[in-house]
Amino acid sequence: MLSEQTRTIVKSTAPVLAEHGKTITTVFYSNMFEAHPELLNIFNQANQKQGRQQTALANTVYAAAVHIDNLEAILPAVVQIANKHVSLGVKAEHYPIVGEYLLKAIKEVLGDAATDEVINAWAEAYGVIADVFISIENGMYEKSETQENGWSFFKDFTIARKVKESENITSFYLKPADGKNVPSYDAGQYITVRLAIPGEEFLFNRQYSLSQASRPDEFRISVKREADNDPNGMVSVYLHEQMNEGDRIEVSAPAGEFVLDTKRDTPVAFVSGGVGITPMMSMFETVATQTPERPVSFLHAARNETLHAFDKDVQKYVATMDNAKYKTLYSDEPQGYITRDILEDMVDASGEVYVCGPVPFMEKMISELRALGMPDEQIHYEFFGPAVALQSV
Ligand code: HEM
């Protein structure tokens, strides 16, 4: 329990820290990786190499500090981050390292303003916040380990099949190398794949949504090949060009909170842009096979036909359901965008909608759905990559 004085100091200095967020984060990461280069096996190196600021971590610490009296208030955010951490194999022993370098960075940037009293208060607050994460993450690891065919951290898988879905999306069917089955998962969850790329010093981790309904013997991910010169595309290019059937790959257990609520029978709509179609495929297939009578619509935006994945699969399921609608728009064509009118026609505002795609696409879809009167609790969405603070949503 933090003392009244500690709470007051933390709450009154949180805005100052947030104001210097970018500088503190830069100092924090650069010092931490210098002292602990092994952490580059966990963190996304493309972000670091590009100098792209990962302010999310530090900002969350400040936001949590503001709510230090009532951490329950930020629990949903903590659970979402904890899913990501667990998928990446973050361990309890990493927290003191992050804490140490975050506090050192605060001290370095704030200089004299960071008195011992201020630093001690933050050290205490960080300890409380870290304990919340650690306890939630331990619970998740335990659940993962005790689930049938489950495991925690990483496990060896074999690429059983590699199937081209469009000009730039290829599916990888993954089976455990020990011949066991995989655990069941919720439609919409993701896994992390971990790769050693020849010539690269550290391991690479990337999250990919599972792109088919839960099956006992395999996972499927569907990867978009990014451009050769995109530092964030290294893993996708390596997977597309170098990884083939029979190759080994490390995989973490399914995680994530952006999942289909299978208990409902209300209308459900899936709205995706580009490779955002992947979690939608898992959700759509789950509805088609488990509750085919549920009213469902599938709305997708692709650049053109050659980049449009899974068209035949969606059509195949639509044909087996009484209440299914399907529409695709190609943005290379005139009037090829999903408009409010199209959403009104395809999405039943009394039901649930799941949205996934690039950030501008999501922002547009969410604001149009709201304009159509859909309440926020019925609009579910997930962004690619690091959680982005969406100002306009
Ligand atoms: C991602 C917060 C501790 C490793 C994140 C994100 C947040 C966050 C907000 C972005 C989530 C997203 O992208 O959806 C925190 C807080 C911490 C903490 C508040 C302490 C209380 C740690 C520790 C580690 C760690 C101890 C391991 C050393 C990562 C990694 C990512 C991440 C690897 C993915 C982003 C990337 O690869 O650059 N964390 N984190 N975090 N966190 Fe943490």
Rounded to whole angstroms, the Cα distance separating 257 from 29 reads 27
pLDDT in tens, 194-228: 999 999 999 999 999 999 999 999 999 999 999 98
Instruction: Give whole-number Cα distances, 35 to 3, 32, 52, 105, 126, in Å.
Output: 32, 5, 20, 13, 20
Rounded to whole angstroms, the Cα distance separating 309 from 164 reads 9
Ligand 1 centre distance from Cα of residue 60 (Å)? 9
Q: Whose alpha carbon is nearest atom 15 of ligand 1?
A: 57
Phi, psi (degrees; rounded to nearest 5) at 146: -90, -10
- How much is the mean pLDDT over the chain? 92
Q: For the whole model, what pTM was predicted?
A: 0.93
Q: Distance from first CA to last CA of the chain, Å, rounded?
A: 35
Under a CB-based contact definition with an 8 Å cutoff, are residues 270 and 298 in contact?
yes
CA-only gyration radius of the chain, Å: 22
Query: For residue 153, which amino acid is it?
Result: F
To the question of whether residue 208 is assigned a binding role by annotation, the answer is yes
Q: Is the pLDDT of residue 38 over 50?
A: yes
Q: Is the pLDDT of residue 105 over 60?
A: yes
pLDDT of residue 52: 58
pLDDT in tens, 51-95: 555 678 888 888 888 888 888 888 888 999 999 999 999 999 999
Q: Is the pLDDT of residue 303 over 90?
A: yes
Residue 267 token pair: 């209308």
Q: Is the pLDDT of residue 15 over 80?
A: yes
Mutate which of 10, 67, 84, 87 for ligand 1 pocket (most atoms within 8 A of beta carbon):
84
Mutate which of 24, 52, 78, 81 for ligand 1 pocket (most atoms within 8 A of beta carbon):
81
Low-confidence winner among 18-22, 216-220, 306-310 (lowest mean pLDDT) = 18-22
pLDDT in tens, 153-166: 999 999 999 999 99
To the question of whether residue 207 is assigned a binding role by annotation, the answer is yes
To the question of whether residue 274 is assigned a binding role by annotation, the answer is yes
pLDDT of residue 387: 43
pLDDT of residue 53: 55
pLDDT of residue 272: 97
Instruction: Output the ligand 1 site: residues, CB below 6 A.
Output: 39, 42-44, 47, 54, 56-57, 60-61, 81, 84-85, 88, 90, 94-95, 98, 129-130, 133, 386-387
pLDDT above 70 covers a percentage of the chain that reads 95
pLDDT of residue 44: 84
ipTM for the complex shown = 0.98
Rounded to whole angstroms, the Cα distance separating 201 from 203 reads 7
Domains of the chain: 4-146 (1.10.490.10), 154-252 (2.40.30.10), 268-383 (3.40.50.80)
Q: Is the pLDDT of residue 392 over 60?
A: no
Strands of the sheet with 352-357, listed across from one edge: 324-330, 296-302, 268-273, 352-357, 379-383
pLDDT of residue 193: 97
Rounded to whole angstroms, the Cα distance separating 133 from 288 reads 36
The residues facing 251 across adjacent strands are: 155, 193
pLDDT in tens, 113-159: 899 999 999 999 999 999 999 999 999 999 999 999 999 999 999 99
Rounded to whole angstroms, the Cα distance separating 90 from 167 reads 35
361-381 average pLDDT score = 96
